[in-house]
Amino acid sequence: MNEIKPSLYDFTLKDLTALVKPSFRAKQIYGWLYHQYADNYEAMKNIPKAMKEELAEKYLVNPMKIVRKEESDDGTIKYLFELQDGKTVEAVWLKMKDAQHDEEGNLTQEAKYTICVSTQVGCKVGCSFCLTAKGGFTRDLTAGEIVGQVVNLKRDNDHKHNRKINIVYMGMGEPLDNLDNLAKAISIFKEEEGLAISGKRQTVSTSGLSNKIDQLGSMDLGVHIAISLHAVDDELRTELIPMNKAHNINSIIEAVKRFPIDTRKRVMFEYLVIKDKNDDLGSAKKLVKLLSGIKAKVNLIYFNPYPGTPYERPSYEDMFAFQEYLIKHGLLSTIRDSKGIDISAACGQLKEKTVNELSN
Protein backbone atom coordinates (compact mmCIF):
# COMPACT_ATOMS: atom_id res chain seq x y z
CA MET A 1 0.00 0.00 0.00
CA ASN A 2 1.25 3.46 -0.87
CA GLU A 3 1.93 5.84 1.98
CA ILE A 4 -0.87 8.31 2.57
CA LYS A 5 0.77 11.71 2.84
CA PRO A 6 -1.10 14.44 4.74
CA SER A 7 -2.64 17.25 2.72
CA LEU A 8 -2.99 20.96 3.38
CA TYR A 9 -6.74 20.27 3.30
CA ASP A 10 -6.27 18.41 6.61
CA PHE A 11 -5.67 21.66 8.51
CA THR A 12 -8.00 24.08 10.19
CA LEU A 13 -6.73 27.65 10.03
CA LYS A 14 -5.65 27.35 13.67
CA ASP A 15 -3.65 24.20 12.85
CA LEU A 16 -1.97 25.86 9.90
CA THR A 17 -1.21 29.01 11.88
CA ALA A 18 0.63 26.90 14.46
CA LEU A 19 2.61 25.23 11.67
CA VAL A 20 3.53 28.22 9.50
CA LYS A 21 5.42 31.29 10.71
CA PRO A 22 4.81 34.19 10.44
CA SER A 23 1.14 33.46 11.04
CA PHE A 24 -0.17 35.76 8.29
CA ARG A 25 1.25 33.27 5.79
CA ALA A 26 -1.33 30.74 6.98
CA LYS A 27 -4.17 33.05 5.92
CA GLN A 28 -2.48 33.58 2.57
CA ILE A 29 -2.18 29.83 2.03
CA TYR A 30 -5.80 29.36 3.09
CA GLY A 31 -6.80 31.94 0.49
CA TRP A 32 -4.93 30.06 -2.21
CA LEU A 33 -6.52 26.76 -1.20
CA TYR A 34 -10.13 27.84 -0.79
CA HIS A 35 -10.54 31.09 -2.71
CA GLN A 36 -8.26 30.46 -5.69
CA TYR A 37 -8.54 26.64 -5.61
CA ALA A 38 -4.79 26.27 -6.11
CA ASP A 39 -3.91 22.58 -6.37
CA ASN A 40 -0.12 22.94 -6.37
CA TYR A 41 2.48 25.00 -4.55
CA GLU A 42 3.72 26.74 -7.72
CA ALA A 43 0.38 28.56 -8.01
CA MET A 44 0.85 30.24 -4.61
CA LYS A 45 2.69 33.26 -6.01
CA ASN A 46 3.11 35.31 -2.83
CA ILE A 47 4.36 32.45 -0.63
CA PRO A 48 8.18 32.33 -0.24
CA LYS A 49 9.88 29.60 -2.23
CA ALA A 50 11.66 28.19 0.82
CA MET A 51 8.38 27.88 2.70
CA LYS A 52 6.72 26.10 -0.20
CA GLU A 53 9.63 23.69 -0.53
CA GLU A 54 9.54 22.93 3.19
CA LEU A 55 5.79 22.31 3.14
CA ALA A 56 6.01 20.20 -0.01
CA GLU A 57 8.34 17.73 1.70
CA LYS A 58 5.64 16.81 4.21
CA TYR A 59 2.29 17.80 2.73
CA LEU A 60 0.46 17.49 -0.54
CA VAL A 61 -1.85 20.23 -1.72
CA ASN A 62 -4.46 18.05 -3.45
CA PRO A 63 -4.63 14.46 -2.13
CA MET A 64 -6.75 13.12 -4.99
CA LYS A 65 -7.38 13.31 -8.72
CA ILE A 66 -10.49 13.04 -10.84
CA VAL A 67 -10.19 9.89 -12.95
CA ARG A 68 -13.70 9.75 -14.37
CA LYS A 69 -16.93 11.69 -14.46
CA GLU A 70 -20.36 11.21 -15.99
CA GLU A 71 -22.85 14.01 -16.61
CA SER A 72 -26.61 13.56 -16.63
CA ASP A 73 -29.12 15.42 -18.76
CA ASP A 74 -30.44 17.02 -15.55
CA GLY A 75 -27.06 18.56 -14.71
CA THR A 76 -26.00 15.95 -12.16
CA ILE A 77 -22.30 15.06 -12.42
CA LYS A 78 -20.91 11.89 -10.85
CA TYR A 79 -17.17 11.96 -10.08
CA LEU A 80 -14.75 9.14 -9.40
CA PHE A 81 -11.62 10.13 -7.48
CA GLU A 82 -8.39 8.19 -7.15
CA LEU A 83 -6.62 8.60 -3.84
CA GLN A 84 -2.89 8.36 -3.10
CA ASP A 85 -3.06 4.63 -2.34
CA GLY A 86 -4.93 3.89 -5.57
CA LYS A 87 -8.31 3.47 -3.85
CA THR A 88 -11.31 5.21 -5.36
CA VAL A 89 -14.31 7.09 -3.98
CA GLU A 90 -17.23 8.96 -5.48
CA ALA A 91 -18.76 12.39 -5.09
CA VAL A 92 -21.76 13.95 -6.82
CA TRP A 93 -22.47 17.48 -8.04
CA LEU A 94 -26.24 18.02 -7.85
CA LYS A 95 -28.14 20.92 -9.39
CA MET A 96 -31.07 21.52 -7.07
CA LYS A 97 -32.56 24.63 -8.72
CA ASP A 98 -31.99 26.29 -12.08
CA ALA A 99 -30.89 29.90 -12.35
CA GLN A 100 -33.71 32.46 -12.55
CA HIS A 101 -33.90 35.41 -14.97
CA ASP A 102 -36.27 38.33 -15.36
CA GLU A 103 -38.11 39.27 -18.55
CA GLU A 104 -35.06 41.16 -19.83
CA GLY A 105 -32.88 38.12 -19.33
CA ASN A 106 -31.04 39.49 -16.30
CA LEU A 107 -29.97 36.99 -13.67
CA THR A 108 -32.17 37.30 -10.58
CA GLN A 109 -31.13 34.15 -8.75
CA GLU A 110 -28.16 31.88 -9.29
CA ALA A 111 -28.56 28.14 -9.68
CA LYS A 112 -28.41 26.21 -6.42
CA TYR A 113 -26.15 23.21 -5.95
CA THR A 114 -25.50 20.47 -3.42
CA ILE A 115 -22.38 18.29 -3.20
CA CYS A 116 -22.74 14.72 -1.96
CA VAL A 117 -19.44 13.49 -0.51
CA SER A 118 -18.03 10.17 0.67
CA THR A 119 -16.48 9.60 4.08
CA GLN A 120 -14.99 6.11 3.68
CA VAL A 121 -13.54 3.80 1.07
CA GLY A 122 -16.25 1.19 1.18
CA CYS A 123 -18.54 0.77 4.17
CA LYS A 124 -18.89 -1.45 7.25
CA VAL A 125 -22.67 -1.23 7.50
CA GLY A 126 -23.44 -3.69 4.69
CA CYS A 127 -26.89 -2.49 3.63
CA SER A 128 -28.45 -5.12 1.38
CA PHE A 129 -29.72 -2.52 -1.10
CA CYS A 130 -26.42 -0.62 -1.45
CA LEU A 131 -23.85 -1.28 -4.15
CA THR A 132 -21.05 0.16 -2.01
CA ALA A 133 -21.52 -2.76 0.41
CA LYS A 134 -20.40 -5.24 -2.28
CA GLY A 135 -16.78 -4.11 -1.96
CA GLY A 136 -16.72 -4.25 1.83
CA PHE A 137 -14.78 -1.76 3.95
CA THR A 138 -11.22 -0.65 3.16
CA ARG A 139 -10.46 2.44 5.24
CA ASP A 140 -11.66 5.78 6.55
CA LEU A 141 -11.06 8.90 4.54
CA THR A 142 -8.89 11.56 6.13
CA ALA A 143 -10.41 14.96 6.85
CA GLY A 144 -8.38 16.29 3.91
CA GLU A 145 -9.81 13.68 1.55
CA ILE A 146 -13.35 14.65 2.61
CA VAL A 147 -12.58 18.36 2.15
CA GLY A 148 -10.78 17.69 -1.13
CA GLN A 149 -13.91 16.31 -2.77
CA VAL A 150 -15.73 19.61 -2.30
CA VAL A 151 -12.80 21.78 -3.40
CA ASN A 152 -12.21 19.69 -6.52
CA LEU A 153 -15.88 19.79 -7.51
CA LYS A 154 -16.13 23.54 -6.96
CA ARG A 155 -12.97 24.04 -9.03
CA ASP A 156 -14.15 21.73 -11.81
CA ASN A 157 -17.49 23.54 -12.05
CA ASP A 158 -16.02 27.05 -11.74
CA HIS A 159 -18.10 27.62 -8.64
CA LYS A 160 -16.73 30.72 -6.90
CA HIS A 161 -15.67 30.35 -3.28
CA ASN A 162 -18.27 32.82 -1.98
CA ARG A 163 -21.22 31.22 -3.77
CA LYS A 164 -23.43 29.27 -1.43
CA ILE A 165 -23.35 25.49 -1.60
CA ASN A 166 -24.86 22.70 0.49
CA ILE A 167 -22.98 19.59 1.55
CA VAL A 168 -24.52 16.22 2.34
CA TYR A 169 -22.42 13.44 3.82
CA MET A 170 -24.38 10.79 1.99
CA GLY A 171 -21.89 9.19 -0.39
CA MET A 172 -19.83 6.05 0.14
CA GLY A 173 -19.39 5.03 3.77
CA GLU A 174 -21.13 5.68 7.09
CA PRO A 175 -20.15 9.21 8.21
CA LEU A 176 -20.53 8.52 11.93
CA ASP A 177 -18.20 5.53 11.62
CA ASN A 178 -15.50 8.10 10.81
CA LEU A 179 -16.63 10.69 13.32
CA ASP A 180 -13.31 12.35 14.20
CA ASN A 181 -12.35 13.03 10.58
CA LEU A 182 -15.93 14.00 9.73
CA ALA A 183 -16.04 16.54 12.56
CA LYS A 184 -12.73 18.04 11.50
CA ALA A 185 -13.87 18.33 7.88
CA ILE A 186 -17.07 20.05 9.03
CA SER A 187 -14.99 22.55 11.01
CA ILE A 188 -12.68 23.18 8.04
CA PHE A 189 -15.64 23.87 5.77
CA LYS A 190 -16.98 26.37 8.33
CA GLU A 191 -13.74 28.43 8.41
CA GLU A 192 -14.56 32.05 7.53
CA GLU A 193 -11.16 32.44 5.86
CA GLY A 194 -11.90 29.38 3.75
CA LEU A 195 -15.15 28.25 2.13
CA ALA A 196 -17.34 29.60 4.98
CA ILE A 197 -19.97 26.87 4.62
CA SER A 198 -22.04 27.14 7.79
CA GLY A 199 -23.20 24.16 9.77
CA LYS A 200 -26.78 24.76 8.69
CA ARG A 201 -25.68 24.04 5.10
CA GLN A 202 -24.12 20.71 6.07
CA THR A 203 -26.18 17.56 6.60
CA VAL A 204 -24.85 14.32 8.06
CA SER A 205 -26.79 11.31 6.83
CA THR A 206 -26.45 8.23 9.02
CA SER A 207 -27.78 4.70 8.86
CA GLY A 208 -28.44 5.01 12.57
CA LEU A 209 -25.45 4.57 14.90
CA SER A 210 -27.44 5.73 17.91
CA ASN A 211 -24.44 6.20 20.24
CA LYS A 212 -22.58 8.19 17.59
CA ILE A 213 -25.64 10.39 17.03
CA ASP A 214 -25.30 11.39 20.67
CA GLN A 215 -21.56 12.04 20.22
CA LEU A 216 -22.14 14.20 17.16
CA GLY A 217 -24.79 16.16 19.04
CA SER A 218 -22.41 16.82 21.94
CA MET A 219 -19.88 18.39 19.54
CA ASP A 220 -22.25 21.29 18.88
CA LEU A 221 -21.21 21.68 15.24
CA GLY A 222 -24.57 23.12 14.19
CA VAL A 223 -25.11 20.58 11.42
CA HIS A 224 -28.35 18.96 10.37
CA ILE A 225 -28.86 15.24 10.69
CA ALA A 226 -30.68 12.88 8.35
CA ILE A 227 -31.63 9.37 9.40
CA SER A 228 -31.68 6.59 6.83
CA LEU A 229 -34.67 4.78 8.31
CA HIS A 230 -36.03 2.77 5.36
CA ALA A 231 -38.28 0.52 7.46
CA VAL A 232 -40.86 0.78 10.23
CA ASP A 233 -40.16 -2.52 12.00
CA ASP A 234 -36.94 -4.10 13.17
CA GLU A 235 -37.38 -7.29 11.16
CA LEU A 236 -37.34 -5.57 7.77
CA ARG A 237 -34.78 -2.98 8.85
CA THR A 238 -32.39 -5.73 9.94
CA GLU A 239 -32.78 -7.34 6.50
CA LEU A 240 -31.99 -4.03 4.81
CA ILE A 241 -29.44 -2.75 7.37
CA PRO A 242 -27.86 -5.63 9.37
CA MET A 243 -26.39 -3.32 12.01
CA ASN A 244 -29.98 -2.66 13.11
CA LYS A 245 -29.39 -5.60 15.47
CA ALA A 246 -27.07 -3.33 17.48
CA HIS A 247 -28.86 -0.04 16.83
CA ASN A 248 -32.56 -0.79 16.56
CA ILE A 249 -35.27 1.63 15.56
CA ASN A 250 -36.21 2.60 19.12
CA SER A 251 -32.60 3.47 20.05
CA ILE A 252 -32.33 5.66 16.96
CA ILE A 253 -35.60 7.49 17.65
CA GLU A 254 -34.53 8.19 21.24
CA ALA A 255 -31.10 9.49 20.07
CA VAL A 256 -32.82 11.78 17.57
CA LYS A 257 -34.99 13.21 20.33
CA ARG A 258 -31.80 14.12 22.21
CA PHE A 259 -30.04 15.67 19.20
CA PRO A 260 -29.76 19.48 19.34
CA ILE A 261 -31.54 21.04 16.38
CA ASP A 262 -32.58 24.51 15.36
CA THR A 263 -36.17 24.79 16.57
CA ARG A 264 -37.11 26.21 13.17
CA LYS A 265 -35.84 23.08 11.41
CA ARG A 266 -37.03 19.51 11.10
CA VAL A 267 -35.18 16.23 11.43
CA MET A 268 -34.95 14.54 8.04
CA PHE A 269 -35.85 10.87 7.81
CA GLU A 270 -34.78 9.21 4.59
CA TYR A 271 -37.10 6.40 3.53
CA LEU A 272 -35.95 4.34 0.56
CA VAL A 273 -39.08 2.96 -1.03
CA ILE A 274 -38.70 -0.57 -2.41
CA LYS A 275 -41.41 -2.33 -4.36
CA ASP A 276 -43.34 -4.90 -2.28
CA LYS A 277 -41.05 -4.35 0.71
CA ASN A 278 -42.05 -1.11 2.38
CA ASP A 279 -44.31 0.71 -0.09
CA ASP A 280 -47.71 -0.26 1.34
CA LEU A 281 -50.11 1.95 3.30
CA GLY A 282 -49.69 -0.27 6.35
CA SER A 283 -46.04 0.82 6.47
CA ALA A 284 -47.10 4.43 6.02
CA LYS A 285 -49.46 4.13 9.00
CA LYS A 286 -46.67 2.68 11.18
CA LEU A 287 -44.30 5.46 10.07
CA VAL A 288 -46.74 8.15 11.19
CA LYS A 289 -47.01 6.50 14.60
CA LEU A 290 -43.24 5.97 14.90
CA LEU A 291 -42.41 9.64 14.29
CA SER A 292 -45.16 11.01 16.50
CA GLY A 293 -43.77 13.73 18.76
CA ILE A 294 -40.78 14.49 16.52
CA LYS A 295 -40.65 17.58 14.32
CA ALA A 296 -39.89 15.44 11.30
CA LYS A 297 -39.78 15.54 7.53
CA VAL A 298 -39.85 12.30 5.56
CA ASN A 299 -37.96 12.24 2.28
CA LEU A 300 -39.27 9.39 0.17
CA ILE A 301 -36.66 8.03 -2.22
CA TYR A 302 -37.22 5.79 -5.21
CA PHE A 303 -34.96 2.76 -5.05
CA ASN A 304 -32.45 3.22 -7.88
CA PRO A 305 -31.87 -0.26 -9.39
CA TYR A 306 -28.44 -1.52 -10.40
CA PRO A 307 -27.35 -4.79 -12.06
CA GLY A 308 -27.69 -7.78 -9.76
CA THR A 309 -29.92 -6.24 -7.11
CA PRO A 310 -32.92 -8.28 -5.93
CA TYR A 311 -34.92 -5.12 -5.23
CA GLU A 312 -37.16 -3.18 -7.59
CA ARG A 313 -38.24 0.42 -8.05
CA PRO A 314 -41.76 1.14 -6.72
CA SER A 315 -44.55 2.36 -8.98
CA TYR A 316 -45.41 6.05 -9.20
CA GLU A 317 -48.91 5.25 -7.97
CA ASP A 318 -47.72 3.52 -4.79
CA MET A 319 -45.12 6.21 -4.14
CA PHE A 320 -47.64 9.05 -4.32
CA ALA A 321 -50.25 7.12 -2.33
CA PHE A 322 -47.65 6.61 0.42
CA GLN A 323 -46.78 10.32 0.43
CA GLU A 324 -50.44 11.34 0.40
CA TYR A 325 -51.14 9.19 3.47
CA LEU A 326 -48.25 10.77 5.41
CA ILE A 327 -49.32 14.31 4.56
CA LYS A 328 -52.98 13.60 5.30
CA HIS A 329 -51.97 12.42 8.76
CA GLY A 330 -49.85 15.49 9.56
CA LEU A 331 -46.37 14.34 8.56
CA LEU A 332 -44.46 16.59 6.18
CA SER A 333 -43.25 14.50 3.26
CA THR A 334 -41.43 15.03 -0.03
CA ILE A 335 -40.47 12.74 -2.87
CA ARG A 336 -36.86 13.14 -3.86
CA ASP A 337 -36.31 13.73 -7.55
CA SER A 338 -34.28 10.92 -9.08
CA LYS A 339 -31.13 12.79 -10.03
CA GLY A 340 -28.74 11.36 -12.59
CA ILE A 341 -30.89 8.34 -13.37
CA ASP A 342 -29.42 8.18 -16.91
CA ILE A 343 -25.87 7.82 -15.53
CA SER A 344 -24.22 5.75 -12.77
CA ALA A 345 -26.39 7.43 -10.20
CA ALA A 346 -26.63 5.00 -7.30
CA CYS A 347 -23.80 5.24 -4.79
CA GLY A 348 -20.98 2.94 -5.84
CA GLN A 349 -22.16 2.47 -9.43
CA LEU A 350 -19.47 4.51 -11.15
CA LYS A 351 -16.75 2.80 -9.14
CA GLU A 352 -18.22 -0.64 -9.90
CA LYS A 353 -18.57 0.18 -13.60
CA THR A 354 -14.95 1.34 -13.80
CA VAL A 355 -13.66 -1.78 -12.04
CA ASN A 356 -15.65 -4.03 -14.37
CA GLU A 357 -14.42 -2.25 -17.49
CA LEU A 358 -10.79 -2.49 -16.37
CA SER A 359 -11.14 -6.21 -15.63
CA ASN A 360 -12.69 -7.04 -19.01
Q: What is the Cα gyration radius of the chain? A: 21
Binding site: residue ranges? 123, 127, 130, 173-174, 205, 228-230, 304
Output the average pLDDT for the chain: 92
* Catalytic residue ranges: 90, 347
* ω into 314 cis (within 30 of 0): no
pLDDT of residue 340: 66
pLDDT of residue 296: 96
CA angle at 98 for the pair 92 and 104, rounded to the nearest 5°:
155
Q: Chain-centre distance of CA 332, in angstroms?
A: 23
Binding site for [4Fe-4S] cluster: residue ranges? 123, 127, 130
> Could you say which DSSP state residue 98 is in?
-
CATH architecture of 63-359: Alpha-Beta Barrel (3.20)
CA neighbor of 169 nearest in space, from 204, 140, 141, 195: 204
- Predicted model pTM: 0.91
78, 90 contact by CB (below 8 A): yes
pLDDT of residue 360: 40
Is 292 in a helix, a strand, or coil?
coil
pLDDT of residue 351: 47
CATH number of the domain located at residue range(s) 1-62 in this protein:
1.10.150.530
Going across the sheet that includes 332-335, the strands are 64-71, 77-83, 88-97, 112-117, 166-169, 202-206, 224-228, 267-273, 296-302, 332-335
> Could you say which DSSP state residue 65 is in?
E
Give the pLDDT of the chain (360 residues) as one tens digit per residue.
467 899 999 999 999 999 999 999 999 999 999 999 999 999 999 999 999 999 999 999 999 999 999 999 888 999 999 999 999 999 999 999 988 888 888 888 889 999 999 999 999 998 988 877 677 899 999 999 999 999 999 999 999 999 999 999 999 999 999 999 999 999 999 999 999 999 999 999 999 999 999 999 999 999 999 999 999 999 999 999 999 999 999 999 999 999 998 777 899 999 999 999 999 999 999 999 999 999 999 999 999 888 888 999 999 999 999 999 999 999 999 998 766 666 555 555 554 444 344 334
* Per-residue pLDDT tens over the stretch 261-277: 877 789 999 999 999 99
Structural domain spans, the chain: 1-62, 63-359
pLDDT of residue 345: 56
pLDDT of residue 356: 42
